A and B are shown apart, each in its own frame.
Chain A
Amino acid sequence: EVQLVESGGGLVQPGTSLRLSCAASGFAFNDYWMHWVRQVPGKGLVWVSGISTDGTTTNYADSVEGRFTISRDNTKNTLYLQMNSLTVEDMAVYFCARQYTSGWYYFDYWGQGGLVTVSS
């Protein structure tokens, strides 16, 4: 069974940093592109970042480019999102998601989500 379990969310002050983790199991993690998608409570889904199978290619939404860094450790089957210079606009539930297969641009499995609250 495919499982994606996020951790690392919490309450932080504006301007600080936080790292999210997503532990994957039940599939060959190193065969799949992985992504982060966020959702402000009560609002819609927004893609944040994606990373290739070997970690050499990364993509970011304009809103987080230069502040967020996506990475992965294929030996630990874990995806990460390092978030720096957080603002209130970054407050959201962050989901990790598996891309179906390379060349097909949608997400077939999602984690349960981790809430990031940015407040002074």
Chain B
Amino acid sequence: SYELTQPPSVSVSPGQTASITCSGDRLGSKYVCWYQQKPGQSPVLVIHQDTKRPSGIPERFSGSNSGNAATLTISGTRAIDEADYYCQAWDSSSGYVFGTGTKVTVL
């Protein structure tokens, strides 16, 4: 089955850049999206089709995808960005696959 691996945690200082990686076999050949989930809330789509931001998502969120890894970058991180982040892709054999999740802590 297809798997997506993320680091369990990322720490960042306010105003700095946080980068979250999502690794999977030939992931660059698939479209990746990213969800933000705050405690007790449902996931919110922050990046789709590798690089696109839905309406209402701040410009500080950006994405890239190449080779075997996708990256979500949060520039100028704010305290409100503290959350769990999940990547997700679709695989023809495994269907909808979510990453293992990364907890972003803004110190």
Contacts and interface: CB of A to CB of B under 8 A. Distances in A.
Interface of A: 35, 37, 44-47, 50, 59, 61, 95, 100, 104-108, 110-113
A3 B51 CA distance: 25
Given A45-B43, A95-B42, A105 B31 contact: yes
Contact of B45 (A105, A107, A111): A107
A110 B48 contact: no
Given A45-B88, A45-B101, A47-B98, 10 more contacts: A37-B96, A44-B86, A44-B98, A59-B95, A100-B48, A106-B33, A106-B90, A107-B88, A108-B48, A112-B42
Contacts, number: 52
Nearest to B97: A47
Interface residues of B, number: 23
A110 B41 CA distance: 10
Q: In this complex, which of B49, B88, B96 has the most chain A Cβ atoms within 10 angstroms of its Cβ?
A: B96
B58 interface: no
- Nearest 7 pairs of A and B residues by beta carbon: A105-B90, A47-B96, A110-B42, A106-B33, A45-B98, A44-B101, A108-B45
